C-alpha cells in the first residue's frame, strides 16, 4: 500500500476525516476502560485517538503510511507532553512490527480496503494481538442516509474476522463517525468489538 495518496490528503489543510479531536465513539470507549495493556492504533493519522488513549497512561504505538500525518502527530505529542510512539508502517504488513499488543484500534482504516486486502489485514492483526486481546473497529456503515465512502456491511465485517481465522465478533453496534463534511451528527458507522481467540474456541 503506497503512502503517497494518503500523504497528499494532509498537505493542503486538514484531511476530510481529521476532525482535530478524538472520535466521540473512541472517547467513550476510553472512558469505559476499554483500552488495556499495550495499544496499537492502526491508521492513526494525526494521532488524536492515540493521544487520547495515551493520556490514560497506556503505552501506545500509532502507525500510518502518511509521513505528513505522522509528523503532525509527533508534534502534538511533544506539545502535550505525552510519550507516544508514531512510526511509518504498512497496515497490510503488520507482522513486520515484531511486536504484540493487548488492544488494537482501527478507526476509519478497515473500510478503505478491498475484500482481498481485508483478509490480509485480518491475518496481520492476528499476528500482533495477544490471545484474548481486543480489536475495536470503527468504520462507515452501509445502513442509513448520508453514508460515508466505502460503507461496510455486517456480513463484510463477519467475513474478515471469522472464527476459522481465530476471531470472534462479540459486539457490533450502530455508531457515528464524525468527519469534516458530514453534519454535527456524523455519518452512519459500525463499532465492532472483536476478540482474538484460538481457532478451537472461536465458535464458543
* 202 assigned to some structural domain: no
Backbone angles phi, psi at 85, to 5 degrees: -95, 125
Q: Supply the pLDDT for residue 113.
A: 94
CATH code: domain of residue 97: 3.40.50.150
Write out the residue range of the structural domain in which residue 115 sits. 11-196
Look at the block and give the residue holding cell 481485508: 118
- Beta-carbon count within 10 A of 71 CB: 13
Q: Supply the pLDDT for residue 201.
A: 46
* 143 assigned to some structural domain: yes
**Average per-residue pLDDT for the chain:** 91
Distance of CA 178 to the CA centre of its chain: 14
Strand 85-88 and strand 101-107: the pairing is unpaired
Higher pLDDT, 7 or 25: 25
Q: Alpha carbon of 144 to those of 131, 138, 139, 183, 190: distances in Å?
A: 35, 16, 14, 14, 11
Q: How far apart are CA 119 and CA 113, in angstroms?
A: 9
- Say which residues have a Cβ less than 8 Å from residue 157's Cβ, sequence separation at least 6: 110, 137, 139, 169, 172, 190, 192
Q: Supply the pLDDT for residue 8.
A: 75
Question: What does the pLDDT look like over 73-89, one tens digit per residue?
Answer: 999 999 999 999 999 99
Chain length of the chain: 204
* 4 assigned to some structural domain: no
Count of structural domains, the chain:
1
- Assessment of whether the complete model's pTM goes beyond 0.85: yes
* 190 assigned to some structural domain: yes
Q: How far apart are CA 127 and CA 104, in angstroms?
A: 12
* 111 assigned to some structural domain: yes
Amino acid at each position: 500500500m503506497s503512502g503517497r495518496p494518503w500523504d497528499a490528503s494532509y498537505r493542503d489543510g486538514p484531511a476530510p476525516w481529521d476532525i482535530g479531536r478524538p472520535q466521540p465513539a473512541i472517547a467513550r470507549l476510553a472512558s469505559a476502560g476499554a483500552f488495556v495493556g499495550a495499544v496499537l492504533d492502526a491508521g492513526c493519522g494525526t494521532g488524536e485517538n492515540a493521544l487520547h488513549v495515551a493520556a490514560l497512561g497506556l503505552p501506545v504505538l500509532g502507525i500510518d503510511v502518511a509521513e505528513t500525518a505522522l509528523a503532525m502527530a509527533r508534534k502534538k505529542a511533544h506539545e502535550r507532553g505525552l510519550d507516544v510512539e508514531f512510526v511509518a508502517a504498512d497496515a497490510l504488513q503488520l507482522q513486520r512490527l515484531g511486536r504484540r499488543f493487548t488492544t488494537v484500534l482501527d478507526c476509519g482504516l478497515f473500510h478503505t480496503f478491498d475484500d482481498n486486502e481485508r483478509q490480509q489485514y485480518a491475518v496481520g492483526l492476528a499476528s500482533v494481538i495477544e490471545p484474548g486481546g481486543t480489536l475495536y473497529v470503527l468504520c462507515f456503515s452501509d445502513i442509513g442516509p448520508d453514508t460515508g465512502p466505502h460503507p461496510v456491511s455486517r456480513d463484510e465485517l463477519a467475513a474478515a474476522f471469522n472464527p476459522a481465522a481465530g476471531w470472534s465478533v462479540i459486539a457490533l453496534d450502530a455508531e457515528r463517525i464524525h468527519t469534516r463534511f458530514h453534519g454535527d451528527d456524523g455519518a452512519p458507522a459500525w463499532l465492532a468489538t472483536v476478540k482474538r481467540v484460538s481457532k478451537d474456541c472461536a465458535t464458543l
